[in-house]
Structure 1
Amino acid sequence: MGLILEYTKHELNFKFDAGTSRGVLKTKEAWILKIHQQGKPKTFGLGEVSTIERLSFDYSVDFESELDELKGTLLGVELPVTVPEIYKLVNKQVSKYRPAIRFGLETALLDLFHGGQFQLFDNDFYYGRSGIPINGLIWMGEKAFMKSQIDEKLRLGFKCIKLKIGAIDFDAECELLDYIRSQYPADQLILRVDANGAFITQEVLKKLERLAVFDLHSIEQPIMPRQPEAMSLVCEKSQVPIALDEELIGVFDKYEKIALVEDIKPDYVILKPSLLGGFAATAEWIEIAKAHQIGWWITSALESNIGLNAICQFTAAYDYVGHQGLGTGQLFDNNIHSPLAIQGEEVVYNQTLSWDLGTLKFN
């Protein structure tokens, strides 16, 4: 029995204008994959092809054309009988230069492999027996808007806050950080910032010197990627620990990954499975980070709950330390209803809730 692939495009609408240093996001495109074995249409797995404009390696791809081609090549393929064989199949069927499709196909096949019940990995998270601690994400915007987000996250009991910085006046951003620290010292609240490459290379060390007074846990991607010598110098000189994010996108070969971390020597790497090429690729990054004594955490990349559920279950398979970046499921007003929920500062899989695929129509 071959595999039948269907898909549908789903445009996610943000509840607010989501500001980053690359611009304001109002909508987010995704293609939801549905895969089943021939003759067994009622048992299917779901996956998500998720991209972010000007960030994803493959955001400009004609996905519908490539997914139509993939439908044809999967027709004569049997469902693998082990998880490693699933990863091998995806590696064979999809180019490494299509990380979003690899993530979507991996996810759909893992779901189908486990019986089509939205389960991809067998761990306590899926059964609702444990949650994953996450950071509270503060989006860029006017100072008053950012302050209101901060106050709300602190009220809800988050012990780790992450601010996106680099889009408004730097002095105003420092005032917000000072406001947080005036109420919550470092031993009470973990404070992360994410510049998304916004700082000018010639000015970055001076800005990092100012940021150091706020006892930051880390700063993500202070300068634009593909400047290895500059980034290496930043990691060496900065009093604020440096986390690489966009720097990892488009690096697919294992030896290139090793060379990157050995040349730059970051304190942390941020792992987004849908941008890196799926779970096999992300697991390889984790293996390399551990071997080089580099910290890491996993974040979602604005996927719908289909992709977010998969990433949460993958993350829960590790003995992770610290707060993950998996709190984006509540950003959209037309997300796919799921058992994922935020309880305190944890994302959980609430088995008393159900999935609702709504009006998704596959072709």
Structure 2
Amino acid sequence: MSSIHAIRFSYVPHQLKFNFDAGTSRGVLKEKTTYFIQANTSENSSVGWGEVAPLVKLSIDDRPDFEQQLQKYCKKLVFEYDLRSKVTSKQIFHWCAEVISNEFPSIRFAFETAILDLINGGQRMIFDTDFFHKEQAIAINGLIWMGDKEFMLDQINEKLAKGFSCIKMKIGAIDFEQECRLLEYIRSRFSAKSITLRVDANGAFHPYEALNKLERLAKFDLHSIEQPIAVNQWKEMSELCKVTPLPIALDEELIGIYGFENRKQLLESIRPQYIILKPSLLGGLRDTQEWIALAEAKDIAWWMTSALESNVGLNAIAQFTSTYQDLMHQGLGTGQLFTNNIDSPLVVENGFITYKKDKSWGEMP
């Protein structure tokens, strides 16, 4: 019997339905199409799963022919490995980068994680860490979605009641003064020592008004602001990062930047205080590792965020995050957004996400 095994791939689409109207800077989301990649071999019955989850109007692979391209990759790609030697994540990442174009970051992420799952026995273990084996918890922020003042206030009270010690509020949807009053409401009840506050502007501010707004926001003892101005304004963002009274985190700015030198140039040009990492949007896990290495070399801190994946993708991102030490609050609280998510051992309690070994995975579509 040959020691060479061949992993082949197939996919199934799944329409995720939000349990509320999810307001974003790109409109209100009610549902979202995701795709599950299945990796298997003819030699055994184990299955590895990955998730392809492009974001409408944000992912560079949000394009009309996306599913056709995904179908082509699943039909043509075969990952071969030798049972006599251990397959490493580095080998898997290198292969995925070689055979899947930068144009399809979410596809690359899904293939990376599906192969890792299968190689590790098809038990949803993407990385061998204490998060998977010993229920080591990861601190996360509670996300406040855009909407009218009452809707946002209800979310704030809910997150505070559930024990979150870090809250991230999306801003730019309602009147700025109302948003300031919501932040003031939180600060009137909780100091910066007890509740960490983050805001995400999604590029909503014009460069000429950004500094003034950051000065207003700084009065609320905020941890950081994500993407205060729109992308591709490196000079303006760089100037803002130099004088800001409030730490700035780059998010959308990282999307579509490929190659070590280009990424290095971006970080050296802008010099942000933080970067935010979404593997599905950045090119997968290997590319995310590169961003982290570049940032840490320049004393730029980071945190990981899921990008509206189901629990399948969220599980992979959480396990990947757990391979790093000394983590700040991560953005991994999106598993409770959907009415028809895949049941999983991922549990969010008191502001932490944990992989509960006594819980089982639900059936895939």
Contact residue 20 and residue 165 of structure 1 kept, 8 A: no
Provide the residue aligned with 2:8 in structure 1: 4
Q: How many correspondences in the alignment?
A: 358
**Residue 87 (str. 1) matches residue 87 (str. 2):** no
2:37 aligned to which of 33, 36, 39: 33
Provide the residue aligned with 2:256 in structure 1: 250
Contact residue 20 and residue 140 of structure 1 kept, 8 A: yes
Query: What secondary structure is seen at the aligned counterpart in 1 of 2:103?
Result: coil
Question: Structure 2: which amino acid aligns with 1:186?
Answer: A
Question: Structure 1: which amino acid aligns with 2:71?
Answer: D
Distance 1:320 1:336 in 2: 30
- Cα offset, 1:95, TM superposition: 0.7
- Cα offset, 1:63, TM superposition: 2.9
Contact residue 135 and residue 357 of structure 2 kept, 8 A: no
Provide the residue aligned with 2:218 in structure 1: 212
- Cα offset, 1:129, TM superposition: 2.8
Q: CA 1:86–1:183 in 2, change beyond 3 Å: closer, same or farther?
A: same
User: Which deviates more from structure 2 when the two are superposed, residues 19-28 or residues 236-245?
Assistant: 19-28
Q: Unmatched 5+ residue regions in structure 2?
A: none
Distance 2:90 2:350 in 1: 35
**Residue 53 (str. 1) matches residue 56 (str. 2):** yes
1:298 aligned to which of 304, 308, 313: 304
| Aligned residue runs from structure 1 range 93-112, under 5 A | 93-112=99-118
| Aligned residue runs from structure 1 range 115-130, under 5 A | 115-130=121-136
**Residue 169 (str. 1) matches residue 192 (str. 2):** no
Provide the residue aligned with 2:19 in structure 1: 15
Provide the residue aligned with 1:222 in structure 2: 228
Question: Structure 1: which amino acid aligns with 2:340?
Answer: N
2:184 aligned to which of 178, 184, 195: 178
User: Which deviates more from structure 2 when the two are superposed, residues 92-101 or residues 283-292?
Assistant: 92-101
Distance 1:272 1:103 in 2: 10
1:287 aligned to which of 293, 306, 312: 293
Contact residue 135 and residue 356 of structure 2 kept, 8 A: no
Contact residue 33 and residue 48 of structure 1 kept, 8 A: yes
Provide the residue aligned with 2:241 in structure 1: 235
- Cα offset, 1:298, TM superposition: 0.4
User: Percent identity between the aligned chains?
Assistant: 52
- Cα offset, 1:38, TM superposition: 2.4
Deviations 1:282-324 (A, max 9, x none): 0111101110000100010000000000000000010033100
Provide the residue aligned with 2:281 in structure 1: 275
Query: What secondary structure is seen at the aligned counterpart in 1 of 2:192?
Result: coil
- Structure 1 segments (4+ residues) deviating >3 Å: 75-80
Q: In angstroms, what is the RMSD of aligned CA positions?
A: 1.3
Normalised to the residue count of structure 1, the TM-score between the two structures is 0.96
User: Which deviates more from structure 2 when the two are superposed, residues 77-86 or residues 344-353?
Assistant: 77-86
Distance 2:95 2:271 in 1: 33
- Cα offset, 1:22, TM superposition: 1.9
Q: CA 1:76–1:20 in 2, change beyond 3 Å: closer, same or farther?
A: closer
1:67 aligned to which of 66, 70, 92: 70
Contact residue 92 and residue 112 of structure 2 kept, 8 A: yes
1:264 aligned to which of 258, 267, 270: 270
Distance 1:118 1:51 in 2: 21
Distance 2:259 2:107 in 1: 17
**Residue 320 (str. 1) matches residue 308 (str. 2):** no
**Residue 187 (str. 1) matches residue 197 (str. 2):** no
Contact residue 344 and residue 362 of structure 2 kept, 8 A: yes
Contact residue 140 and residue 353 of structure 2 kept, 8 A: yes
Provide the residue aligned with 2:202 in structure 1: 196
- Cα offset, 1:203, TM superposition: 1.2
Contact residue 2 and residue 74 of structure 1 kept, 8 A: no
Q: Unmatched 5+ residue regions in structure 1?
A: none
Distance 2:35 2:327 in 1: 32
Distance 2:251 2:270 in 1: 13
